[in-house]
A and B are shown apart, each in its own frame.
Chain A
Amino acid sequence: MSKVANNTDFWAGVMFIIFGAAAVYMSRDYPMGTAMRMGPGYFPHYLGILMILFGLGIGGRGLLKGSDAIGPWAFKPLIVLSLGVLSFAFLIDRIGFVPSLVALIVITSLSGQEKVRWLELLIFAVVLVAGAVGLFIYAIGLPYQLFWWY
């Protein structure tokens, strides 16, 4: 890998430039107004420009002076955790609180680097679901169906 590809400051700069440019681009549809009577586009437009400038500075510094290496990415945990939350979001309206919670617990548990211990996971899931039902449904009183029939 070349040096630039792993340069923290350079990529941070790129990120800020992208966000800044997006802000400027999206606020072009909002009326600017004047300093005295600011329209909804005024504040975001100038924030975006300022952010692009910061991004240029940070990225430039990274290129000139070098910076810390980014290090390896942990895509697997990020994706698996997200899948767990997505499945909960998808299931809770359809099959109820308890099954969607089980899905969340099982899927998120798979995101670690360690080998999965299924028996432990099973007991853990039962305990955690029971605790969550007790706390959120009975104690706090959130109005969710426990199962699709109840």
Chain B
Amino acid sequence: MDLSQLFPHLYLGFSVALSLHNLMYCFIGVVLGTAIGVLPGIGPLATIAMLLPITFNLPAIPALIMLSGIYYGCQYGGSTTAILVKLPGESASVVTCIDGHEMAKAGRAGPALAIAAIGSFFAGTVGTILIAQLGPPIAELALEFGAAEYFSLMVMGLIAASILAYGSMSKSLAMVLLGLIIGIVGTDVNSGMARFSFGIAELTDGISFSVIAMGLFGVAEIVKNLEGSGGKRDLLFQKLKHLYPTKEDLKLSWKPIVRGTALGAFFGALPGAGPTIAAFSTYAMEKKLTKRPELFGKGAIEGVAGPEAANNAAAMGAFIPTLTLGIPGSGTMALMLGALTIQGIAPGPQVMTQRPDLFWGLIASMYIGNTMLVILNLPLVGLWVKLLTVPYRLLFPAIMVFMTIGVYSLNNSSVDLYMMILFGALGYLFLKLQCEPAPLILAVVLGPLMEENLRRALLISRGDPTVFVTRPISLGFLIVTVVFLVVMLLPAVTAKRKEALAGDAS
């Protein structure tokens, strides 16, 4: 590790991020992200998709800074809801529900929230340093990548994403294929031929991923929520008396926080894995390591500290492949990358050298965003809880207004709105048929890149498909992919996976 380079880099980053303007955008992002993340049933993907339009008209740096503020804001908001109301805002905070809500019921909501904040902050700090340290060498390595390496890497990412997604693996893989096909819509770069455009002029530019995301995650989610009769929420309205954890709490928590951070960072950096799987594995690990396993599920603070740290570390780690390779590791990261392309920046290893202000500014602002979260959230917990009392009948029209204006403002075109409705209906169909849409959105973004690299690799090798296994790095990615698949098909793991991803905390 080259520490001598770290400080000038971080200095550059902080000088960008600490400008009043960027601080403001970071702040707005964190507040908005938390506010929407707190709402149950709206995960990071939907939140980012919804708030994306606000950033379209900003310059690249503030736009990305605000988006990442939104990203960890909603991660943290999800935990708050999980602890107080036992309604996880997103799948990664399902585990936090288990012990966090038990603590809240015992009148210890304050310490639970505080330890979640402390754990997230620690994980965020480590995550920032990790990105700053690992980013440059990985990007340097990636500059050596040819078409074959990129193709194999994307195969690995997509397979990993479908393995670790909720629900059936074969359905997720089929969703990846469908996403790749949707990604084809538009003009073929090699031949100039319009493909799958149905003769509609607007479709020759392809379908914007944000339109797809808002349809699949925004509209579909609202329809799903309107299925029932409103749904009553079991709110826990106790005064938060003791906000601060005791010495005993801290003593019990610091080791889980450190372990959770390590595990989380590892899962996060792996393309395709993410916060959910990190949080679940950490919980399982802490349950094995603790001296008092009988308390798990009944309000053990370790069961909040570990997964919350893991969750946040993974959220940070996910930036590593996204920023250094230009390969998003998750649906959420695919949205971030899409935002980058909208800003006219081609994602990939060259971003770091060509736009060091952007790269290091973003990293510095992640750290600042994390600090803001801690400062902001503990005193504002009361406000977030109030937000939960806003009835859904007012909430969803407001969300629809945001999304509709956002989509329309992309190209001032009603075709984008029709597409949003279409993908809303499609998304609802997916939900009903238990097909997880997150791998699909990842594939939509990767599709054109994948085809391009596949074509180029085979052109260079004169049509010889062995090029993917004769180049060592490419072979490495493919071996990892095969190992993933084989491991997941083992009966013992299949059972474990079902248990881990079942996500039933009740």
Contact = CB atoms under 8 A, between A and B. Distances in A.
A40 to B, nearest CB: 4
A130 to B, nearest CB: 12
Given A38-B458, A88-B417, 18 more contacts: A8-B432, A20-B177, A35-B465, A36-B459, A36-B462, A38-B454, A39-B191, A40-B191, A74-B224, A104-B400, A108-B401, A111-B226, A112-B393, A128-B398, A132-B405, A142-B57, A142-B405, A142-B409
Majority secondary structure, B binding face: helix
Interface residues of A, number: 67
A12 to B, nearest CB: 4
Contact of B226 (A61, A70, A112): A112
Contact of B171 (A12, A20, A48, A92): A12
Contacts of B191: 31, 39-40
Interface string A20-39: 10010011001100111111
A50 B177 contact: yes
Tell me what chain A mostly uses at the interface: helix, strand, loop, or mixed.
Answer: helix
Nearest to A109: B397
Contacts of A105: 397, 400-401
A148 interface: no
Interface string B185-218: 0001011010110000000000000000000000
B465 A68 contact: no
Interface string B390-407: 001110111011001100
Given A11-B433, A85-B400, A48 B219 contact: no
B303 to A, nearest CB: 29
Contacts of A135: 54
Nearest to A112: B393
Interface stretch (B16-24, B62-70, B423-431): B423-431
Contacts of B195: 26-27, 30, 40, 44
Contacts of A90: 414
A119 to B, nearest CB: 13
Contacts of B394: 120, 124
Contacts of B429: 15
A77 B57 CA distance: 32
Contacts of A23: 181, 196
23 contacts: A8-B433, A11-B433, A19-B178, A27-B195, A38-B190, A47-B181, A48-B181, A51-B174, A68-B434, A74-B226, A77-B222, A77-B226, A77-B227, A78-B223, A81-B223, A85-B400, A85-B404, A89-B408, A89-B417, A105-B397, A108-B400, A140-B54, A141-B57
